[in-house]
């Protein structure tokens, strides 16, 4: 069974949906580590409550982003991590880091990419008065919110919608489809060719 880590910076609601899915065996992979760049992130508390090992490293303690990420990678290798999931992780990875886990980092973004990239995807979608919002699950590459897309699901923005109600509806979609994408990866059902991600009906056979 594959082993994975979740990177999170904040409240950890997406992390909680992943923890719940793992516990219900809806994700056939072992969540063995939760990492945060913020010592007081509630995501770390959620992980600890679930009995999952946590790790916090402060970027300010390192001379450069590369030295910071090298230390993170050392910990990931020690934990034999096969793939990564970023759930509200507010740091961009360097090319060095991405190359350590090529096509093995999965992110959730609260807009229909390539529209409204960045950390304000929900608010930017709403204030732009878009007719549709949504969620994108994608692989991470060296550019922000740019990797091949696994799943996109849209929701219509109502005429009487508030930012708060729209945000709540987006989170509901995230919490449902993110674990689904992780499960497909864990089962070997995602095949990447260029920018396209094909979802296989059955995982490829492994010759014993």
Q: Which residues have a catalytic role annotated?
A: 109
Distance CA 105, CA 145 (A): 12
Best CA proximity match to 77, nearest among 183, 182, 5, 28:
5
How distant, in Å, are the alpha carbons of 106, 111, 178 from that of 171?
Answer: 17, 11, 10
Q: Count Cβ atoms below 10 Å from residue 4 Cβ, excluding itself.
A: 26
List, in order, residues 6 or more apart from 137 with CB less than 8 Å away. 106, 107, 108, 109, 149, 150, 151, 152, 177, 178, 181
> What phi and psi, each to the nearest 5 degrees, are found at residue 124?
-65, -40
Distance CA 49, CA 40 (A): 14
The residue to which tokens 């969540």 are assigned: 31
């Amino acid at each position: 069974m594959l082993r994975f880590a979740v990177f999170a910076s904040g409240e950890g609601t997406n992390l909680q949906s992943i923890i719940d899915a793992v516990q219900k065996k809806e994700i056939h992979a072992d969540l063995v580590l939760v990492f945060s760049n913020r010592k007081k992130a509630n995501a770390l508390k959620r992980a600890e409550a679930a009995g999952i090992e946590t790790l916090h490293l402060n970027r300010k303690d390192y001379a450069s982003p590369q030295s910071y990420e090298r230390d993170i990678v050392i910990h990931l290798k020690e934990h034999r991590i096969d793939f990564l999931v970023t759930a509200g992780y507010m740091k961009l990875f360097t090319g060095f880091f991405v190359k350590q886990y090529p096509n093995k980092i999965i992110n959730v973004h609260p807009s229909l990419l390539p529209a409204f990239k960045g950390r304000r995807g929900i608010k930017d979608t709403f204030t732009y008065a878009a007719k549709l919002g949504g969620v994108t699950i994608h692989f991470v590459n060296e550019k922000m919110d740019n990797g091949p897309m696994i799943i996109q699901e849209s929701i219509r923005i109502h005429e009487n919608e508030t930012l708060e109600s729209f945000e709540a509806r987006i989170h509901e979609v995230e919490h449902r489809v993110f674990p689904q994408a992780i499960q497909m990866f864990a089962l070997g059902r995602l095949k990447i060719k260029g920018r396209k991600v094909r979802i296989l009906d059955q995982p490829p056979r492994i010759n014993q």
